[in-house]
Amino acid sequence: MKGNLPHTISYSESLIVHSCRAKQLRTEAVHLLSKDLNRRQLRDLESLLNRAFYPLAGFLGRDDYESVLKEMRLSDGSVWPIPICLDVNEEFAASLQPGQCIGLNDQEGFLLAILTISDIWKVDKKAEAKAVYGTEDPEQHPGVQTLFTEVKDWYIGGTVEGVTLPIHYDFCDLRLTPAESNRRFLQYGWRRVVGFHTREYLHCAHREMVLAAARETGGSLFLHPLVGLDHPGNMEHYTHVHCYQEFVQHFPRNMIQLGIIPLAERYAGPREALWHALIRKNYGCTHFIVAADHGDPFAGTNADLFYPQGEAQQFVASLAEETGIAMVPERAMGYAEEQGKYVYLADIPDEKVKHINSKELKRRLEQGENVP
């Protein structure tokens, strides 16, 4: 298994061009049609430019898009489960043609990249929703609702040349690119790295869970929480990241690395879990922790799960040999007072274990109540 070997960067470190070419692109962009991207599109562009979305070299063209919907693969056969396309309205699409170059700007009009258009087409949103989410009903799935109400009706695909990554003014030392995280892991001598994707509030049981995963795999830990797009009910992300910074202080030295990723999630269940695993492989991980409800839009709520429990874990594990990243199941833990240690909840009756989920932890923190 490739996970036994140190991960090496086997692709261009980024799609950002060298300084001379960047200067040339800025000059050319003055005469080009341009588009200011929204927050969701900016997250996708950043992940394209820094190669978190490797092997993608731009927004999907129509052939790749249709192949991803039907086969969860690009047209060259590479595994890729989520369509990454640039959506525009009909008026803007009518002004474009294949072969044309347009500028891609941030929300303040600052040039980030040049897109060379390969395809322009009107999307069949119902077909995309059915393929990616498993339903066409926006009342059943918030991802479908976002697709129908926020995503424009026309897609454009093509390769991108990056002038610069989107500018961030907060936690710059934590915003590692895949090239930077790969280099750090090699410098640390980490041969196996276990990635942990989260947007939850973490507590002692999470610490014990990821430590157990590290022990079982013989690996170190890459805590890679999601930031950048607000989630309903969450504290502002500054507080959230400060909590993650405190969390990593309670691990043995040289065992854990914290990084943050500005990813626009889709909540596509098993497809989402596989997507997260591929992204973490690009960041240098050899293993990835997958929850039984990973990628489910209703995970951590009182609502019924949309996707079958455990399906995400099985799906990621089934493709591990091909993708090169092993699946590690997330197993909930609680504190057994009689034994004086944390144990897996599945191994001991509930009445003998103290445990708390992230939703209850969040409520107690907000209400100023005692946390067990």
Q: What is the predicted pLDDT for the residue at 239?
A: 83
**Which residue matches tokens 């939703």?**
359
75-107: pLDDT as tens digits:
999 999 999 999 999 999 999 999 999 999 999
> Is CATH 3.40.50.620 the right assignment for the domain spanning 172-367?
yes
Same CATH topology for 17-162 and 172-367: the answer is no
**pLDDT the model gives residue 247:** 93
Kindly report, residue by residue over 45-57, the tens digit of the pLDDT: 999 999 999 999 9
Model pTM?
0.91
What does the pLDDT read at residue 3?
Answer: 41
Residue showing tokens 């507590």: 203
Could you read off the pLDDT of 173-223 as tens digits, one per residue?
A: 999 999 999 999 999 999 999 999 998 888 888 898 999 999 999 999 999
Domain spans, the chain: 17-162, 172-367
- The residue ranges of the chain whose pLDDT is under 70 are 1-12, 228-236, 340, 349-351, 355-359, 371-372
From CA 16, how far away is CA 127, in angstroms rounded?
Answer: 34
Whole-number average pLDDT of the chain: 90
How high is the pLDDT of residue 358? Answer: 67
CATH superfamily of 17-162: Sulfate adenylyltransferase (3.10.400.10)
